[in-house]
Amino acid sequence: MFLDKMEKFLDNLTPMDLMRSEKMTFVQLIIPAESAHRAISYLGELGLLQFRDLNADKSPFQRTFVNQVKRCAEMSRKLRFFKDQINKAGIMSSSHTALQPEIDLEDLEIQLAEHEHELIEMNSNSDKLRQSYNELLEFKIVLQKACGFLVSSHGRAIPDERELQENVYSNDFVETTSLLEQEIRPGPSNPSGLRFISGIICKSKLLRFERMLFRATRGNMLFNQAPADDQIMDPVSAEMIEKTVFVVFFSGEQARTKILKICEAFGANCYPVPEDISKQRQITREVSSRLTDLEATLDAGLRHRNKALASVGEHLSDWMNMVRREKAVYDTLNMLNFDVTKKCLVGEGWCPIFAKTQIQEALQRATFDSSSQVGIICHPMDAVESPPTYFRTNSFTSPYQEIVDAYGVARYQEANPAVYTTIIFPFLFAVMFGDWGHGICLLLGALILIARESKLSTQKLGSFMEMLFGGRYVLLLMSLFSIYCGLIYNEFFSVPFHIFGESAYRCRDNTCRDAHTIGLVKVRDPYPFGVDPKWRGSRSELAFLNSMKMKMSILLGVVHMNLGIILSYFNARFFGNSLDIRYQFVPQMIFLNSLFGYLSLLIVVKWCTGSQADLYHVMIYMFLSPTDNLGDNELFWGQRPLQIVLLLLALIAAPWMLFPKPFILKKIHTERFQGRSYGMLNTSEMDLEEPDSARQHHHEEFNFSELGSLRTFYCFL
Q: What is the pLDDT of residues 600-625, one digit of tens each?
A: 999 999 888 878 888 888 888 888 88
Dist CA 437 CA 2 (whole Å): 22
More confident residue, 300 or 22: 300
User: Burial level of 1, CB count in 10 A (0-12/13-18/19+)?
Assistant: exposed
Asked whether residue 161 is assigned to any structural domain, the reply reads yes
- Kindly tell me if the per-residue pLDDT of 191 is higher than 70: no
Average of pLDDT values for 509-537?
70
Q: Read off the pLDDT band of 490 (50, 70, 90).
A: confident
Percent of the chain with pLDDT over 70: 81
Average of pLDDT values for 309-328?
90
Q: What is the DSSP string of 448-489?
A: HHHHTHHHHTTS---HHHHHHHHTHHHHHHHHHHHHHHHHHH
Strand partners, 201: 244
Strand partners, 352: 24
Per the structure, how many domains does the chain have? 2
More confident residue, 9 or 568: 568
More confident residue, 640 or 674: 640
Dist CA 255 CA 274 (whole Å): 20
Asked whether residue 350 is assigned to any structural domain, the reply reads no
List for the chain the helix, strand, coil content (%; round to 5).
60, 10, 30
Nearest Cα to Cα of residue 414 among 15, 26, 21, 24: 21
Q: Read off the pLDDT band of 704 (50, 70, 90).
A: low
Dist CA 677 CA 663 (whole Å): 21
Helix axes of 436-451 and 418-433: crossing angle, nearest 10 degrees = 140
Nearest Cα to Cα of residue 338 among 120, 606, 54, 687: 54
pTM: 0.70
Average of pLDDT values for 480-492?
90
Average of pLDDT values for 249-273?
89
Among 241, 274, 307, the domain boundary falls at: 274
Asked whether residue 652 is assigned to any structural domain, the reply reads no
- Kindly tell me if the per-residue pLDDT of 522 is higher than 90: no
End-to-end Cα distance, the chain: 38
More confident residue, 224 or 672: 224
The confidence score (pLDDT) of residue 621 equals 85
Residue 124 half-sphere exposure toward CB, CA atoms < 13 A: 6
Asked whether residue 107 is assigned to any structural domain, the reply reads no
Phi, psi of 198 (to 5 degrees): -115, 150
Per-residue CA distances from 321 to 36, 317, 328, 461 (Å): 20, 6, 11, 16
Region of poorest pLDDT, from 40-49, 164-173, 261-270: 164-173
Dist CA 400 CA 417 (whole Å): 9
- Kindly tell me if the per-residue pLDDT of 148 is higher than 80: no
The confidence score (pLDDT) of residue 160 equals 43
Average of pLDDT values for 585-608?
91
Q: Read off the pLDDT band of 705 (50, 70, 90).
A: low
Give per-residue burial for 628-659: e unless 16+ CB within 10 Å, then b: eeeeebebeeebeeebeebbebbeebeebbee
Asked whether residue 532 is assigned to any structural domain, the reply reads no
- Kindly tell me if the per-residue pLDDT of 190 is higher than 50: no
Per-residue CA distances from 545 to 57, 538, 559 (Å): 63, 11, 21
More confident residue, 195 or 673: 195
Q: Read off the pLDDT band of 414 (50, 70, 90).
A: confident
Residue 26 carries which DSSP code? E
Q: Read off the pLDDT band of 325 (50, 70, 90).
A: very high
Dist CA 695 CA 703 (whole Å): 17
Domain containing residue 216: CATH number: 3.30.70
More confident residue, 418 or 717: 418
Decide: 303 and 313 in contact? Cβ < 8 Å. no
Asked whether residue 444 is assigned to any structural domain, the reply reads no
- Is 190 in a helix, a strand, or coil? coil
Find the helix or strand (DSSP H, E) in which 244 lies. strand 243-251
- Kindly tell me if the per-residue pLDDT of 153 is higher than 50: no
The confidence score (pLDDT) of residue 89 equals 84
Neighbours of 496 (CB within 10 A): 18
- Is 379 in a helix, a strand, or coil? strand
Asked whether residue 623 is assigned to any structural domain, the reply reads no
* Amino acid identity, position 16: M
How high does pLDDT run on average in the chain?
80
- Kindly tell me if the per-residue pLDDT of 161 is higher than 70: no
Average of pLDDT values for 435-446?
92
Domain residue limits at 260: 157-274
Average of pLDDT values for 128-142?
88
Decide: 430 and 482 in contact? Cβ < 8 Å. yes
Phi, psi of 127 (to 5 degrees): -65, -40
The confidence score (pLDDT) of residue 700 equals 53
**Which residues lie closer than 8 Å to 686 by C-beta, 6 or more apart?**
none
The confidence score (pLDDT) of residue 479 equals 94
- Kindly tell me if the per-residue pLDDT of 23 is higher than 70: yes
Q: What does the chain come to in residues?
A: 717
Among 246, 274, 302, the domain boundary falls at: 274
Strand partners, 30: 346, 377
Sign (positive or negative) of CA dihedral 632, 634, 637, 638: negative
Query: Strand (E) positions, 356-414?
Result: 377-381
The confidence score (pLDDT) of residue 673 equals 62
Dist CA 158 CA 195 (whole Å): 8
Q: Read off the pLDDT band of 25 (50, 70, 90).
A: very high
The confidence score (pLDDT) of residue 706 equals 53
Decide: 205 and 248 in contact? Cβ < 8 Å. no
Per-residue CA distances from 44 to 41, 48, 306, 331, 652 (Å): 5, 8, 36, 12, 54
Neighbours of 584 (CB within 10 A): 23
Q: What is the 3-state secondary structure (H, E, C) of 551-584?
A: HHHHHHHHHHHHHHHHHHHHHHHHCCCHHHHHHH
Chain Cα centroid distance, residue 706: 31
- The model's pLDDT over 69-104, given as tens digits with 9 standing for 90+, comes to 999 999 999 999 999 999 888 887 655 554 555 678
- Kindly tell me if the per-residue pLDDT of 226 is higher than 50: yes
The confidence score (pLDDT) of residue 167 equals 39
- Is 375 in a helix, a strand, or coil? coil
Decide: 489 and 530 in contact? Cβ < 8 Å. yes
Q: Which of 426-430, 516-520, 633-637, 706-710 has the highest mean pLDDT?
A: 426-430
- The model's pLDDT over 96-134, given as tens digits with 9 standing for 90+, comes to 554 555 678 888 999 999 999 999 999 899 888 888 888
Region of poorest pLDDT, from 27-31, 262-266, 366-370, 382-386: 382-386
- The model's pLDDT over 211-224, given as tens digits with 9 standing for 90+, comes to 998 888 888 888 88
- Kindly tell me if the per-residue pLDDT of 187 is higher than 70: no
**Backbone torsion region of residue 537, taken as left when φ is above 0, otherwise alpha when ψ lies between -120 and 50, otherwise beta:** left
Decide: 146 and 228 in contact? Cβ < 8 Å. no
Asked whether residue 459 is assigned to any structural domain, the reply reads no
Among 239, 274, 309, the domain boundary falls at: 274
* Amino acid identity, position 300: A
More confident residue, 716 or 494: 494
The confidence score (pLDDT) of residue 686 equals 35
